Amino acid sequence: MVGAAEEAQLNRLESQVDNGGGGVWEYLCLVRKLKARRSEKVLKHGLSILNDPKSRSRLGGDEWTLYEQVAIAAMDCQWLDVAKDCIATLSKKFTGSLRVGRLEAMLLEAKGAWADAEKAYARLLEDNPLDQAMHKRKVAMAKAQGNISAAVDFLNKYLEIFMADHDAWRELAEIYVSLQMYKQAAFCYEELILSQPTVPLYHLAYAEVLYTMGGLENLQAAKKYYASTINLTGGKNTRALYGVCLVRYPGYFTHGFSPS
């Protein structure tokens, strides 16, 4: 979840780096911190550091984090040879590491070798049953293969164990919305609001789902949550402001495009 200010900072750094103004490492660190998905840029600029022995040695211990970041970016852009090289370098340095094992399984995923990837993850999970990232890779694989119901299943089982994982609740809510299972999506947002009541994003998302479900009670509840979003964001959130107007006259202005 990237806020507007952080995104602006990220974009600024990105254009600075693109135009040769330096700050590459700062950019890559920010991308990592915000978990933003800018794989093409990360790949391009990350490789420029890794391929230059001087810049690489200047990184010291961070060199390995960069290898990991570039490997993942390479897999996202389908530059599988680059990914393989990065992972091989990491594997030589950290033999038998769980983190490297995960990257190797991700490479199998990127190649589309689903069965092999599943076996690899199963093996790794046997030794490390509480590794959150590995469980989430299973969800990602199911989603990537188009098996949405399996993804939902895995995610629900994951949340029974790791119920404080907010990103997972959000992901589940978004999947439910894409399946038009609005009641279930609403439940996820309720969990998020209960555990983090001062995060406006959850209030807003909940309001939007309620509005979509329609019906008098839901619309009144939506109005309350749009209002609380406005409260929490000091009136700066456009969607919430529009939302409060829309709930007054649902469908009135759109010549009958009423929420169903």
Partner 1 sequence: MGAECRYEVAQAAYIKLVLHALKHRASPVGGLLVGRLFEDNASTVQIADAIPLTHSQIGLLPSLELALIQVEEHFGAEGFSVVGYYHANERYDDAELGNAAKKIGDHIFRYFPRAALLLLDNNRLEELLKGKERDLVVQLYTRDSSKSWHQAGSDGSSQLTMKGPSANVLLLDYISSEKWQNIVDFDDHLDDISKDWLNPNLFE
Region near partner 1 per CB under 8 A, out of 21-29, 53-61, 128-136, 252-260: 252-260
Between 94 and 252, name the residue whose CB sits nearer to partner 1: 252
- When asked if residue 19 is in the footprint of partner 1 (CB under 8 A), the reply is no
Between 50 and 107, name the residue whose CB sits nearer to partner 1: 107
Q: How far apart are CA 226 and CA 124, in angstroms?
A: 44
Cα distances from 171 to residues 37, 157, 179, 182, 220, in angstroms, run 15, 14, 12, 14, 26
Q: How far apart are CA 207 and CA 201, in angstroms?
A: 10
Cβ(200)–Cβ(237) below 8 Å? yes
Nearest to 182 by CA among 213, 208, 152, 158: 213
Between 50 and 205, name the residue whose CB sits nearer to partner 1: 205
- When asked if residue 75 is in the footprint of partner 1 (CB under 8 A), the reply is no
Q: How far apart are CA 11 and CA 2, in angstroms?
A: 12
Region near partner 1 per CB under 8 A, out of 43-51, 52-60, 93-101, 171-179: 171-179
Residue from 212, 224, 227, 233 that binds partner 1 (CB under 8 A)? Answer: 212
Site mask for partner 1 (CB under 8 A), range 216-245, x = bound: ----------------------xx--xx--
Between 117 and 124, name the residue whose CB sits nearer to partner 1: 117
Is the CA virtual torsion 76, 82, 88, 90 positive or negative?
negative
Kindly write down the DSSP assignment for every residue of 113-181, as one continuous string.
Answer: -HHHHHHHHHHHHHH-TT-HHHHHHHHHHHHHTT-HHHHHHHHHHHHHH-TT-HHHHHHHHHHHHHTT-
Rg of the chain in Å (alpha carbons): 22
- H-assigned helices in the chain: 4-18, 24-34, 39-50, 53-59, 63-76, 80-93, 98-111, 114-127, 132-144, 148-161, 166-178, 182-195, 200-213, 216-232, 238-248
**3 state SS of 237:** coil
Residue from 144, 193, 199, 227 that binds partner 1 (CB under 8 A)? Answer: 144
Residue from 141, 177, 186, 232 that binds partner 1 (CB under 8 A)? Answer: 177
Q: Least Å distance between CB 131 and partner 1?
A: 24
Region near partner 1 per CB under 8 A, out of 98-106, 134-142, 178-186, 189-197: 178-186
- When asked if residue 37 is in the footprint of partner 1 (CB under 8 A), the reply is yes
Between 92 and 183, name the residue whose CB sits nearer to partner 1: 183
Residue from 21, 174, 215, 235 that binds partner 1 (CB under 8 A)? Answer: 174
Region near partner 1 per CB under 8 A, out of 43-51, 63-71, 134-142, 250-258: 250-258
Q: Which residues bind partner 1 (CB under 8 A)?
A: 4, 37, 144, 146, 174, 177-180, 182, 208-209, 211-212, 238-239, 242-243, 246, 250-251, 253-257, 259-260
